[in-house]
Chains A and B, each alone.
Chain A
Amino acid sequence: MSTKDDTGLLRSVLPPERVDQLFDLCGTHSWKLILLSAVIGALPPVFGLREGYMMTVISEMFLFAILALSWDIVGGQTGYPSFGNMAFFGIGAYTGAILLKDFAVSFPLAVVTAGVFATVFAAIIGLIVLRLRGHYFAIATLGVLLAAQQISRNLEITGGASGKILFDVPPGIVFYYFFLGVLVAEIIVVYYLSNTRFGFILNAIRDDEGKATAMGFNTTYYKTAAWMLAALFTGLAGGAYGLFNTFIDPQTAYNGAWNVELIAMALMGGTGTVAGPVIGAFGLHTIIEYVETAFVGWQLVLLGLAVIVTVIGFPKGVVGSLREYANEMDYYERGGMAATDGAADGTDAATDANDPEVTTDE
């Protein structure tokens, strides 16, 4: 087709084989790269960024990356599109806020408890909703979110519709390192798991749950474990958010817009990978911040356009598209099908690369 013409400039500047080599290089040194990323992420405060707008924006980038990566554990790696992840965030946020404000618990204990509460909630809910598949699962998770929001609105301990105010706030640098720390920990855990039997089984569930079940896996167990892992990190982030924002109410803690944004972030970056949701979160949040100040009143329209353009231009997300591009060369080298139809070949190659080949590993 016209793939070669469309990407002619890109091919001359960055040939697929170079991308391929880069992938291999990074693959060889993956743990060192994670460490390097963490160090780079930790540097801005060392060089003087201690408060204010940029500190908040970067802290929010880390926060959204946690949320998007958590969503991807279930939505991308396992193929279960959850619309209820903000319920974990809200439960974490309220747990943290109540412990901090009403019980004068220390910040670390409050956020850890928030993560634990969200995880326990996920275990209970997961055993019910994770028996559902596809659209039914998506709708059920949305129901969980709405129910959690309504319960928080009606309870006295949550401050009802008025929410919780937390004015005795630690400096911004605390949240910066907290969100960075949780993000790095999550990247390490998800990356490690994605190369274990556990990760392969999640991918197998995504690719064909029927076969995975037929192979003897208790898929509900694996799905619930993945869902709890997502809830743990989302709940930890939520636990700190109330204090970070100085205020939560049902609208903020179970933020409907965020619920869509975090999915968009994972999709734009590339689902089913570790890097994709993180890139998507950083990219989309940067766009959101820019559009909010540069195009007042039009931000939602422009955001919608950005998502549409990305979905049309990079349906596999940034990482997925790059993966496809790099694999193209690999495919030629293997001498596959004379490479007459670039687009189709690329897709096939990418599918091959995506395939966790559970059967051989087992």
Chain B
Amino acid sequence: MTSDQNRRTFLKVAGSTGALGLTGLAGCAGSSSDGDGGGEGGSGDTITLGGSMSLTGDNADLGRLYKDSYQETIDRINEAGGVEAGDGNTYELEMVLRDDGTDPSTSRSIYQELIDREGIDYLLGPYASSVTLPASAVAAENQKPMVEGGGASPEIFSQGNEWIFGLLPTANKYAKSYFDMALEQDSPPETVAILAEDDTFSQTTADGAREKIEEEGLELVVDESFPTETSDLSTNLGRVRDNDADILLLCAHQQHNIILANQMESQGVNVDAAMGTVGSLNQSFKGEVGANGDYIYGPTSWDINANFDDPVYGGTQDFVAAINENYGYPPDYHSAAGEAVILTFVNAFESVDELGPTAVRNAIRDADPFSTVYGEVSFGDNGVIDKDMLIRQWQPDPGLQTVYPSSVAQADPIYPMPDWSER
């Protein structure tokens, strides 16, 4: 019995001792790698960009868009001779991309590993706001610039973090261009209705819309929220009709856009314009609602039909062709934002006298607007791209058309949209 008890005792203790001891050793070994962060990845003519991306898990399809776009752009830059930096040297670009599986609990250690072990000074942001938040804190702690094209929450940029730059317009800007477009029409709206889903992203979108409405002197006649689970908007649409709103904004995701289009038709709710913030431009939305989706608007940060000049590809259409040819799919705004992430760094490398995280951060912050396949890039004081959403509209004959701003418009908006009785 005594020896059994002793054995029990040992087993309970021995493991913890050994494990703690091993950890101690690992810790001591690890400390030697601190401070090894060479600016140019150590080789002298290579600059390494590093980050994590959703390469597995639910968002792997989206993560692939960024990865392919990063890789294609870096390959092309290197094939063309590399980056002629402002310090007079020419550098090749390299990329280290880890997989975070869109798990916010992994991004902290991944980015610390990239900085401490890989010696990376220039960080590529991850996908999704939730993963970007801890990653951006690591960038700030270590004073390394991070450029990201996958996080749109305004919270990322409201923490006073001077090391993070974002290429997606934040959620509160999603509806702004819609009002600008409507106000440019011959019979501009005076009253607005907002129906907003009760989730944070949609509420942030609605907050931005309310600010814009106040700024423009419009009257908000309906301002209602509804739960995510709801499959009926008829009561809220009744309020829109009763209050005689000129234009309607639905801050919600695709399922509610479908409900909205079908119930507007069944209840005969007529407005001059109606826009859904997320999912109203997808082909699957139009497939579900058919002709009821005609004249509905939606915002996008990039238009595949645009043609912006670009120093690497030539122009947007060359980028579209390159991604199509090499990866077998048409790029979307994630791909274009990914290209602009790389070019943001390249543009900064070219303009600094000496390479280093602080100099590059300052160069990104102070850069004059420069053209990429994604459009013109420059950053506001909070680090977010100074970019407005484009507005597209489902039109009966040609289909989906970019209608605003006029510089990239494929067609004029059909405004006001015809009453249901006239369709």
The chain A residues found within 8 Å of chain B, CB to CB, are 20, 22-28, 30, 33-34, 36-38, 40-41, 43-45, 47-49, 51-58, 60-62, 65, 159-163, 165, 167, 169, 187, 191, 194-195, 245-249, 251-252, 255, 257-258, 269-270, 273-276, 278-279, 281-283, 286, 289, 292-293, 296-297, 299-300, 318-319, 322-323, 326-327, 330, 352-353, 357, 360
Contacts and interface: CB of A to CB of B under 8 A. Distances in A.
Nearest to A187: B16
B80 interface: no
Interface of B: 1, 3-24, 26-31, 33-34, 55-56, 97-99, 101, 103-106, 108-110, 112-113, 115-117, 129-130, 133-134, 137, 140-141, 153, 155, 159-161, 199-201
A322 B200 CA distance: 52
B112 A26 contact: no
A44 B9 CA distance: 27
A25 B3 CA distance: 11
A208 B23 CA distance: 37
A58 B12 contact: no
Contacts of B14: 22-23, 26, 33, 275, 319
Contacts of A319: 11, 14-15
A161 B21 CA distance: 40
Contacts of A276: 11, 15
Nearest to A40: B24
Contact of A54 (B18, B22, B27, B56): B27
B9 A195 contact: yes
B13 A44 contact: no
B152 to A, nearest CB: 12
A47 B106 CA distance: 27
A274 B13 contact: yes
Contact of B12 (A30, A43, A327, A353): A30
B50 to A, nearest CB: 11
A257 B113 CA distance: 21
Contact of B104 (A43, A51, A247, A318): A247
B176 to A, nearest CB: 21
Report, nearest first, the 6 A-B pairs whose CB atoms are least far apart: A275-B15, A54-B30, A44-B27, A27-B6, A27-B9, A274-B12
A25 B201 CA distance: 60
B148 to A, nearest CB: 15
Contacts of A28: 6, 9
7 contacts: A28-B9, A47-B28, A162-B129, A169-B137, A292-B98, A353-B7, A357-B1
Contacts of A326: 7
Given A26-B17, A54-B34, A255-B103, 19 more contacts: A23-B6, A28-B9, A30-B12, A40-B23, A43-B27, A53-B116, A58-B27, A160-B200, A169-B141, A194-B8, A245-B108, A246-B137, A247-B130, A252-B104, A274-B15, A292-B110, A296-B98, A300-B101, A327-B7
Contact of A300 (B19, B56, B200): B56
A54 B153 CA distance: 30
Nearest to B129: A162
A234 to B, nearest CB: 15
Given A44-B24, A323-B11, A249 B130 contact: yes
A52 B115 contact: yes
Contacts of B153: 162
Contact of A49 (B3, B6, B30): B30
Given A25-B10, A56-B112, A61-B23, A353 B4 contact: yes
A177 B344 CA distance: 40
Contacts of A51: 34, 141
A28 to B, nearest CB: 7
Nearest to B142: A52
Contacts of A45: 27
B16 A162 contact: no
Given A43-B28, A49-B27, A162-B153, A24 B7 contact: yes
A65 B13 contact: no
Nearest to A295: B99
Contacts of B160: 167
Contacts of B115: 52-53
Given A33-B13, A282-B19, A53 B105 contact: no
Find the residue from A62, A162, A283 having the highest chain B CB count within 10 A: A162
A246 B108 contact: yes
B7 A161 contact: no
A359 B104 CA distance: 49
Given A28-B6, A56-B109, A247-B134, A44 B31 contact: yes
Contacts of A352: 4
Contacts of A278: 15-16, 19-20
B135 to A, nearest CB: 9
